Structure 1
């Protein structure tokens, strides 16, 4: 298994295909939520993922400050169903936060999290800063990173 962190232009066609397939499989099919998956942020993002024999096991994209929010952002956080509740999700978030800290040292990190995942992100150091709102029919909240170390709890 290898962790990769690539810009959009560094992704191979196969890597991009597998990333988009996992995102659609989870966010559109599994969650039964038709929404515009291709949203225009991928080209400016870093793509952090765990890959094993061509299969993406965990993925998120890191959006630089002043692209989606004033702050840097982590989005499209996914773990393959075979790796859920194994610690991979926490490791993914920790790696994303480490990259943001090294690359955008003066930026906070803001996310829009599915509301039912507030405890997971809270354990990773995020604090809820908004009331619940619907995003594509799913309750979400805005959260901001406080800088605490993530605990060993996972999706």
Structure 2
């Protein structure tokens, strides 16, 4: 069915980066109507890890993990193409990301409508919800898991 792909920032091909940026812009900028600086300079960082599901020419879901192993990791830019929603790709992608994160502490800024997804993976809200680009978010953290 779909294929999980994983690459550190410098390992991405131009076509892969283009596909990820296009999916993120389609979801966050166009669909959710949030004009924000999507291209933030972090995608090609050596400590950025990209995970995405891609059955063919275009990715269906993606996320990125920021930060070096052993530090607090940050999951972000989690999105699924509209046509692939409700298929479980988001959960499968999060499970794959946590395999790479291992026992490191991690955090994310969740849209409150997706808070339940992240709670399934051990993330708990911290602080009050806040507005980010016109959408209510909440900071969530998953503590380090002792080895």
Q: Please indicate, yes or no, whether the TM-score normalized by the shorter chain is above 0.5.
A: yes
The answer for the alignment partner of 1:24 in structure 2 is 25
| Post-superposition CA distance 1:70-121 (Å, at most 9, x none) | 61011000111122111111000000011010xxx4x211001112211121
Gaps of 5+ in 1: 149-155
What is the SS of the residue equivalent to 2:54? strand
| Post-superposition CA distance 1:36-64 (Å, at most 9, x none) | 10112212211101111111011000111
The answer for the alignment partner of 1:41 in structure 2 is 42
- Of the candidates 120, 127, 133, which is equivalent to residue 136 of structure 1? 133
How far did residue 7 of structure 1 move? 1.2
Runs of 4+ off more than 4 Å: none
How many equivalent pairs are there? 141
How far did residue 123 of structure 1 move? 1.9
Q: For 1:65 and 1:113, how far apart are their aligned partners in 2?
A: 21
What is the TM-score when the length of structure 2 is the normalising length? 0.88
| Cα pair 2:106 2:144 within 8 Å, conserved | no
